[in-house]
Amino acid sequence: MIGVVANPSEHAAVREFFELFKTPWEFYHSDRQYEVLLCAGEGIFSEKTAKLVLVYGGRKLLFDGQTELEAVPQQDHGRMLVYQQLRIPIYADSVHFLGRKSDFLVDAESRRAVAYLDQSDGRVVARIGYDLFREIGNLLTVGQPAHNAGIPTLELHIALLRDVIVSSGRELVEIPPVPEGYRFIACLTHDVDHPSIRLHKFDHTMFGFLYRAVFQSLFKLVTRQMSVRELLVNWIAALKLPFVYLGVAKDFWLEFDRYPQLEGCPHSSFFVIPFKDDPGRTDGGPAPKHRASRYGAADIAGQLRALHAAGCEIGLHGIDAWRDSAKGREELEQIRRITGMREIGVRMHWLYHDQQSPLTLEHAGADYDTTVGYNEAIGYRAGTPQVYKPLEASRLLELPLHIMDTALFYPTRMALSPSEARRRVGAIIDTAVRYGGAVTVNWHDRSIAPERCWSDFYAGLVDELRSKGAWFATAAEAVAWFRIRRSASFNSACESADVGVNRVGDVNQDLPGLQLRVHRGQKSHPTTTVGAGAPHVRISV
């Protein structure tokens, strides 16, 4: 059991941190003994109540006055720390310790110690020079800048804490974010923005298509970013366009319902725009007119019902739901009318989002959100591959977005070659294999059609996810699995030789089970399955 001393203003961040690092903990009680005591900032506690004491703080603490080492504030925010050759960005205050050599945690620039360990009388004290829960709160609200997108910062905070506990000889039990029988979760999602080119006549979308299909394709061929076959596909599509408008040729954009066949599983999620010709609003006024879509969900109702009947999920690609709960209810109700589904998830069009959006979407009746990501990069805006609860919300969960096709390939964004894109995407998948959680992919409706022709890359991405041990789930299924994990609690009445896990709430028998992982000392024991249908599991270790 970990006892936690923290400022009441950080209690929401503390609670969410320990939903992600699912291990036994409680707020500190002075009359109890703990294996581990974690103090964040100034706090009153007795070191004798725990065999391992961790003190986090990004400024000089009263605790530091008890040692001969001087805690020196770092010169500015935004420092980069190095832990086991991994970079950890720190966005708030931090300190380094003069006169202390350490290869445990150091500042990347100065190489000075930002943490140290002391051991005496059978007790270990770890002083770590940043504010853990302030960092967690920042990640889950503001998020990371795009230049740090590739770093799973929140998971590294968890890993560092876990490693200090285990290396000090303490026992640690956790329920990892890994479904039983798999290594991580893969969510294949699709924003349906332009399901038919026939709807676009003499507008910016049509002219943009022609420019990219005819001229940009030739440039990509010369620069070896496109094959001759793809060039011919695009040129033929451009020649067919007049016949598509006349209705005598197939609409080559109207094939988003081909995704389940391409993916080899009926577990993809499609986010559809509720109403056509509505650009929505920003906080400063009307959104750009070209944000408006030429279709609404009712225009493709037949395809949506067929996808839903096949096992796919239909969600809301919201317009104003992120800023107006009343508008959000109207948009959600439109999807309910078409699909018959009651629980609807949301991804906002153009990824519109602010710190109040989770509460607004919750009040609108959304089950979950999957908007938090980057338009211009791939990676971890919230620093994690896990589903989490935004600190402002009470029930709504966030499934972060990690990989988006347009971020990878658009000339005004990352503009990667296919080989470089495979390397970047491979790093995201490897992170999921290492830490668990989900890899959420957004491949737009027309990305497998001319002029993008990104179907071969996408098929390779799906194959890699499958080969690395992914459980393919709809966004709703992934969120449901994390809800079950969040509902699990540890039985603090267990004796030290046993581990008890209490499970409450609804259990979906179709979802994989949870796992229990036990570490003793510096040794990680084999993973043990917690059955998905069992309300209480007691495991001897």
pLDDT over 70, % of the chain: 92
DSSP 162-176: HHHHHHTT--EEE--
On average, the pLDDT of the chain sits at: 91
User: Which of 66-75, 237-246, 291-300, 531-540 is predicted least confidently?
Assistant: 531-540
Give the residue from 499, 505, 461, 456 showing the smallest Cα distance to 484. Answer: 505
Digit-coded pLDDT (tens) for 106-152 = 999 989 999 998 887 778 889 999 999 999 999 999 999 999 999 99
323: pLDDT strictly greater than 50: yes
Digit-coded pLDDT (tens) for 378-436 = 999 999 999 999 999 999 999 999 999 999 999 999 999 999 999 999 999 999 999 99
**Long-range contacts made by residues 231-240, C-beta under 8 angstroms, separation at least 24?**
233/450, 233/453, 234/450, 234/451, 234/453, 236/450, 237/213, 237/449, 237/450, 237/451, 238/209, 238/210, 238/213, 238/214, 238/450, 238/451
Which residues 6+ apart lie within 8 Å of 479 measured at CB? 345, 367, 368, 387, 397, 399
Give the residue from 191, 410, 427 showing the smallest Cα distance to 318. Answer: 191
Compute φ and ψ for 51, nearest 5 degrees: -80, -20
Residue 522's pLDDT is what? 66
Instruction: Name the pTM for this structure.
Output: 0.93
Domains present along the chain, CATH in parentheses: 2-174 (3.40.50.880), 184-195+262-479 (3.20.20.370), 197-252 (no CATH)
Digit-coded pLDDT (tens) for 338-372 = 999 999 999 999 999 999 999 999 999 999 999 99
